[in-house]
Chain A
Amino acid sequence: MSRRKDDAASPSGNDQQTGSGTADDPKAAGGLEKKAGVSRRRFLAGTAGLFGMITVSSCSWDEFFQQNFRRMTREEIDQTLARLQAQYKAKYGKDFVVGAEGPIDGTLFGYALDIQRCIGCRRCVYACVEENNQSRDPQIQYIRVLRFRDGNMDFEESDLYYDPDRVPQEGYYYLPVQCQHCENAPCTKVCPVQATWKEPDGIVVVDYNWCIGCRYCMAACPYMGRWFNWADPVIPAEELNTRTHYLGNRPRFRNIVEKCTFCIQRVRKGRYPACVEVCPVGARKFGNLLDPASEVSRILRDKRVFRLKEELNTQPKFYYFFGL
C-alpha cells in the first residue's frame, strides 16, 4: 500500500505521469508524435491505476494522501482526527475520542518492574490488551511474562506458556517483557519511511497510517517488542476502548506494526499506564525520570536495577529492580 505520491524522498520515481524524459529524447526525431502518444496513454493508465488503488484499498482520498504525522500542521491533524472518528463511528458504531495530546514539557518517561515481587499472574497482559485495543484473533499481546527457574537468566530456557493452577510456583521467578522504550532505539533507525520514532517524552511510537508493513523494525528490536497485524484485527465490539490517541490505541488495521506506547493515551493526561494499575502485587512503577522525587527516580537511586541486553547500547528506559 504505497501512498506517497508527493514524497520527494520516495525511491519509487518511475515517472509515469511526467513523461518529459521521453518527449525530450533527441534521437526520437521521427517518432516524437508516437512516443508522446504512448506517453499519454501510459499517463492515463497510471492515473487510472492510482484511482483503482484508492478504490480497491477502500481508503478515502484524504486518507490516501495523508501526511506523516510529524509533518502535519495542526489543521491537518484536526482534520485527520475528525476523519478517523467518523470512520470508527461508521465501522464500529461507537463514538471514539481520538486525541493527539503532545508531550508534557520536562518529562522523560521511565518504567521500573520489581522482579522479586512479580508473581506471574498475567493480569498486566490482559489489562494491556483491553486498554490498547489489541487484536484477540490473531492474538496480539504487547506483554510477555517469562518464567525462569531460580538462578537462571537464560532467555532461551525461559517459558512463555507456563500454565499451572496457581502462581507463584516454588523455584521460579517471573520476568515480564514489553517494549523497552530505548533511548537509542534501533527499531526507529531501520524504518525506511520513518513511520516510527521516539517522541520528546521518550515514548517510541508508530504512525500506523504511514507504516508500510515491511517489518524491518521487528527484525531490529532485540526485545521482540513489536507486533505485526497479519490479518484484520478482531475485537469484540463491547470490549473496544473508545478513549484513544492517534499514536496509541486507536483501532488498527492489517499489514501494519504496533507496540506498547506506555499507554500514551493515559500517560499524556497524567494517568498511570493500565498495567501499573492492574498489577495485584504492585510490581510495576512508572513516572518521570527527570523528576528526582518520582517513584522511578527513587528506585534508580536506591535499589539495585538492571536493564535487558545492556551490551547492545539500546539504553532502555525500562528497568528491572530488586525490591527486597
Chain B
Amino acid sequence: MTGNKRTRAGANALLLAVALAAWAAGSGAESLSPSPGPATSAAEGGEDFPVPFNPLPKTITPCRACHGPEKDFKINWTREEALRVHTNIRLHHGGVRVWCLDCHSAEKRNYLLPLSDGKPITFEHSYELCGKCHGTKYRDWRNGIHGKRTGYWNGPKTYHLCTQCHNPHRPRFRPIKPKPPPKRPRSPVEASTKH
C-alpha cells in the first residue's frame, strides 16, 4: 500500500517535473535571449556589468604565432605606412599620431597595452583601452548613453562593445544606403488628372 502510494507520489513528482521543464522551456523560448554567446563580465568602480563575449576571427589570432620571440621577429618601434602582411587593415585612426603599437602590446602580442595597473588588456576587454583616450565616450557608454543596448530596459541587456560598431583601425562609420522614403500624398492636381 505504502509502496503503491510512493510510486504514485513518485509519478506525480515526475509529472510535475516534466510539466515544470516544459514550462521553463516554453518560457525560455518565449523570452528573447539577451546575449548570443557566453558573457564575460567586467567589474569596475565596484559595479559589475555584463558584456558579451566577442571572439576574434581565427585567421588573425593568435598574434604570437608570428610575433613571438621564438619567431625572432624584430620589434619595429618606428611608424610605418605599409603594414606588410596585414593587407586588410587600412589604418585611419587618430591621423598620424596613432600607430599599431599605441594599442597593441609590443612584447605580448596577444594582448593590448595595459592600463596604469600594468595588467595587459585582453582583446575581449578592448573597451578599457578605448577609454584611455576616449574617456568621456567611455563613461557615456558605461551609462548607456553612448552606444547601443538591446534586450530588456528593466533587465538583462546586451551591450554592444566599441569594436562591435567601430572598426578599431578605421573607427569612423561609413555612410550607408537609407531605406526608401515614404510615399508622397497625391497632390490635388495629380488626383484630378488621374480620374
Q: Give chain A's interface residues, CB within 8 Å of chain B.
A: 104, 107, 119-123, 125-126, 139, 141, 144, 160-169, 267, 270-272, 276-277, 279-282, 285-288, 294-295, 298-299, 302-303, 323
Contact = CB atoms under 8 A, between A and B. Distances in A.
Contacts of B179: 121-123, 125-126
Given A282-B147, A298-B143, A119 B173 contact: yes
A298 B154 contact: no
Interface string B166-193: 0000000101111111111000000000
16 contacts: A120-B178, A139-B182, A161-B184, A163-B178, A167-B175, A169-B175, A272-B150, A272-B153, A281-B173, A282-B149, A285-B145, A288-B153, A294-B153, A295-B145, A298-B143, A298-B145
Contact of B160 (A162, A271, A272, A282): A282
A295 B144 contact: yes
A281 to B, nearest CB: 7
Contact of B153 (A164, A169, A267, A281): A267
Nearest to B32: A271
Interface of B: 32, 140, 143-155, 160, 165, 173, 175-184
Given A160-B182, A270-B152, A167 B147 contact: no
A323 B140 contact: yes
Nearest to A140: B182
Given A282-B147, A299-B145, A323-B146, A270 B178 contact: no
Nearest to B160: A282
Given A119-B175, A167-B178, 16 more contacts: A120-B178, A121-B177, A126-B179, A139-B182, A144-B182, A160-B181, A161-B181, A162-B178, A267-B153, A270-B153, A270-B155, A280-B176, A288-B153, A295-B145, A295-B149, A298-B143
Contact of B175 (A125, A163, A166, A288): A166
B154 A288 contact: yes
A144 B181 CA distance: 9
A286 B153 contact: yes
Contacts of A272: 149-153
A323 B177 contact: no
Contacts of A139: 182-183
Contacts of A119: 173, 175-176
A30 B149 CA distance: 81
Contacts of B155: 270
Nearest to B141: A282
